[in-house]
């Protein structure tokens, strides 16, 4: 049925004005089968469980048992069939697969029926006829098979049958999650080509609807639906005042941040390499005053570049950090941008996308599974051409649970970058500093469990610095390095004890800009900043004019007065300004904290001002993701 619906989808929706190579179309069927198999797996699990009930009741009353099996399975098949074929007309109307947005129209059944079954150039009886024929055929075939089973088998006396059903259920479970890998299937797996149409074609519409509905309910349970403090016009005014891009010409009312920024500098096509370091938080970095200094190599490097000493991650998970660094979007309160379904419908004005328009080759290099957290799909959609992950490494290199240790990752990265056309953009994402911290014992700094449960983490942190030092020494020998901007930043910090609802230490990370070509004059800057500021800062160094919708600022031109860092963790969110932190959250009263003294401050004008900034970030990012207004 699903193969038939895909062929019908191509027949009804194929864009004749776009020349899509045949091999891309064939690949679309292969990728699509992964999503189809996920739905088939779920269907198999449900029908197998009903099958067990059928066998239990079959000995007493065959007719009742048969109906208990046939009626729900037939209804389920009808729903799947209707969505598969109805999605064709939905796609023709909206340009993407059906998702949870149709729930907005449940009050208007005619609208849904019209969209699904009444295209403007065909008779709706066509769709209905196909659905009915397939459903009737399914019912007849099911009845026939049940009659055969009734004659031949006794469930409780047939161990082979029981084992077979258990095996089928097990396979169905793995099929439904997309296979045997740790990464659960997400929409990003469907982004296999540069053709948006074929990527949408690959994603099964039932999967699309189910996944987006799951995300929607998850958002609702965790408070994504919030009462607005500001109107859209007020949010527009507030966010532009917060960003204060004096070099920008705003070009959209729909997206109040969409603008063309003219750096008023000549364009320079430096290579750009972002080294995104797993859990590399300031608390253990000597260059940032750490009591336990684990980073001699980073400390040395910091003296050669620009170190931003009051810099913060936007969230506490890798998927939040990747999104903020890559597309300059703040961390949502509930679902990461990388997994947000509306973010799969259109792309952001990301750093790789902007540079791609300038002729850069763009890559993402990771030692683990890039499908995890939907990273690969999100990055492909947002301008990354090449994804290098654990599949591109030898088995001998995969010596830790998550894949490849940092030293092997950096070796591969240098070899890979040596062969890229120039200019290039690349993100290298490390993972050794991640649980279970299974590094080679030869690299362990602490061998006697001096810090209890923290010992393994600190050893992994130190190893990450060792690998970084080796990487830098090799980089300096490469011809392209002198014409390259290196950005060293963490994806997030990790949990430390605190009495506050938001512990700023968990968010504080380094940002270091460095180049062996003396592009930067070494200095330490204490301006309050976060991961969303990386995009405009890098573009400020590269010069020229560029279109963007960044939530950040150029850290070389912004004043301390207008600098903030917005942070989110679960149901708490806040804004850091200098040494102050405004903490807000669901159902709590906003509080102002002096981070140096570690104590709450009295209410006043400053609390009210920072609360307004916090609510602006929260309400606008929620509105933009919900309505898809983060792009044009």
DSSP 551: S
Task: Judge whether 318 and 489 are in contact, CB under 8 Å.
Answer: no
Largest CA distance in the chain: 85
Sign of CA dihedral 180, 181, 183, 185: negative
Closest CA to 77 of 44, 54, 30, 123: 44
Q: How many CB atoms lie within 10 A of CB 85?
A: 24
Binding-site residue ranges for Mn(2+): 278, 491-492
CA distances from 234 to 227, 238, 415, 604, 628 (A): 15, 6, 50, 22, 19
Is 372 strand, coil or helix? helix
- Cis preceding linkage at 423, omega within 30: yes
Return the exposure string of 380-414: e unless at least 16 CB atoms fall within 10 Å of the residue's CB, then b.
bbbbbbbbbbbebbeeebbebebbbbbbbbbbbbe
Is 318 strand, coil or helix? helix
CA distances from 247 to 256, 259, 586 (A): 15, 10, 36
For the chain, helix, strand, coil in percent to 5 are 50, 15, 35
Q: How many CB atoms lie within 10 A of CB 68?
A: 17
Binding-site residue ranges: 278, 434, 491-492
Closest CA to 296 of 287, 307, 309, 283: 287
Is 312 strand, coil or helix? strand
Selected catalytic residue, list 38, 42, 193, 318:
318
Distance CA 406, CA 433 (A): 9
Q: How far is CA 284 from the centre of its chain?
A: 27
> Residue 196 is encoded by which pair of tokens?
């948006």
Distance CA 294, CA 285 (A): 6
Number of DSSP helices (H) and strands (E) in the chain, helices first: 17, 17
Q: Are strands 271-277 and 523-525 parallel, antiparallel or unpaired?
A: unpaired
Sign of CA dihedral 389, 395, 400, 406: negative
Write the DSSP assignment of 380-418 as a string of letters: HHTT--EEE-GGGS-GGG--BTTB--HHHHHHHHHHHHH
Q: If residue 303 lies in a helix (H) or strand (E), which one and from where to where?
A: none
CA distances from 263 to 353, 485, 515 (A): 18, 17, 21
Closest CA to 531 of 556, 548, 550: 550
Q: Active-site residue 318, yes or no? A: yes
Write the DSSP assignment of 141-190 as a string of letters: HHHHHHHHHHHH--GGG-HHHHHHHHHHHHHHHHHHTTSSSSSPP-GGGG
Binding-site residue ranges for substrate: 434
Task: Judge whether 82 and 116 are in contact, CB under 8 Å.
Answer: yes
Q: Which residues pair with 490 in a beta bridge?
A: 277
Task: Judge whether 169 and 49 are in contact, CB under 8 Å.
Answer: yes
Q: Hey, which residues are catalytic here?
A: 318
């Amino acid at each position: 049925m699903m193969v038939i619906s895909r062929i019908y989808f191509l027949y009804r929706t194929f864009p004749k004005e776009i020349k899509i190579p045949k091999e891309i179309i064939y690949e679309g069927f292969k990728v699509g089968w992964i999503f189809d198999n996920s739905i088939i797996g779920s269907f198999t699990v449900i029908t197998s469980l009903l099958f067990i009930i059928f066998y239990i009741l079959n000995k007493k009353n065959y007719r009742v048992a048969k109906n208990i099996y046939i009626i729900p399975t037939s209804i389920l098949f009808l729903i799947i069939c209707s969505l598969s074929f109805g999605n064709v007309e939905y796609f023709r109307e909206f340009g993407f697969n059906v998702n949870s947005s149709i729930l907005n129209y449940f009050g208007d059944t005619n609208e849904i029926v019209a969209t699904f079954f009444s295209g403007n150039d065909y008779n709706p009886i066509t769709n209905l006829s196909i659905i009915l024929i397939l459903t009737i055929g399914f019912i007849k075939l099911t009845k026939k098979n049940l009659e055969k089973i009734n004659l031949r088998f006794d469930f409780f006396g047939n161990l082979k049958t029981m084992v077979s059903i258990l095996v089928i259920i097990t396979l169905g479970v793995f099929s439904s999650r997309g296979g045997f890998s740790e990464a659960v299937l997400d929409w990003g797996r469907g982004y296999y080509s540069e053709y948006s149409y074929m990527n949408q074609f690959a994603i099964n519409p039932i999967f699309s609807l189910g996944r987006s509905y799951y995300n929607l309910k998850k958002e609702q349970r965790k408070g994504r639906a919030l009462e607005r403090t500001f109107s859209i016009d007020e949010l527009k005014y507030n966010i532009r005042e917060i960003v204060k891009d004096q070099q920008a010409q705003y070009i959209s009312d729909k997206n109040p941040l969409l603008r063309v920024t003219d750096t008023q500098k000549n364009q320079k096509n430096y290579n750009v390499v972002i080294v995104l370091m797993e859990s590399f938080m300031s608390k253990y970095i000597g260059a940032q005053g750490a009591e336990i200094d684990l980073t001699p190599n980073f400390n040395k490097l910091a003296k050669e570049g620009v170190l931003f000493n009051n810099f913060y991650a936007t969230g506490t998970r890798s998927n939040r950090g990747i999104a903020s660094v890559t597309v300059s979007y703040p961390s949502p309160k509930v679902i990461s941008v990388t997994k947000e379904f509306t973010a799969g419908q259109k792309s952001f004005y990301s750093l790789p996308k902007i540079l791609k328009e300038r002729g850069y080759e763009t890559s993402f290099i990771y030692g683990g599974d890039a499908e995890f957290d939907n990273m690969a799909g999100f990055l492909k959609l947002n301008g990354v051409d090449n994804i290098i992950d654990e599949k591109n490494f030898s088995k001998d290199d995969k010596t830790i649970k998550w894949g490849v240790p940092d030293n092997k990752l950096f070796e591969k990265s240098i070899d890979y970058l040596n062969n890229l056309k120039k200019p290039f953009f690349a993100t290298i994402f490390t993972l050794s500093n991640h649980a279970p911290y299974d590094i080679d014992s030869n690299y362990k700094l602490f061998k006697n469990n001096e810090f209890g449960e923290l010992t393994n983490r600190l050893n992994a942190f130190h190893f990450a610095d060792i690998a970084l030092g080796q990487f830098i020494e090799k980089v300096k020998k490469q011809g392209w390095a002198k014409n390259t901007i290196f950005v060293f930043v963490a994806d997030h910090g990790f949990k430390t004890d605190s009495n506050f609802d938001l512990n700023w230490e968990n968010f504080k990370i380094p940002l270091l800009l460095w180049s062996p070509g003396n592009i930067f004059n070494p200095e330490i800057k204490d301006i309050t900043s976060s991961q969303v500021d990386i995009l405009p800062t890098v573009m400020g160094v590269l010069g020229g004019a560029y279109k963007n919708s960044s939530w950040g600022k150029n850290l070389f031109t912004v004043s301390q007065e207008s600098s903030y860092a917005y942070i989110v963790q679960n149901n708490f969110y806040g804004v850091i300004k200098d040494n102050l932190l405004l903490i807000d959250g669901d159902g709590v009263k906003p509080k102002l904290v002096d981070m140096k003294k570690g104590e709450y401050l009295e209410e006043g004008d400053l609390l009210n001002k920072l609360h307004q900034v916090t609510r602006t970030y929260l309400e606008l990012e929620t509105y933009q993701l919900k309505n898809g207004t983060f792009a044009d």
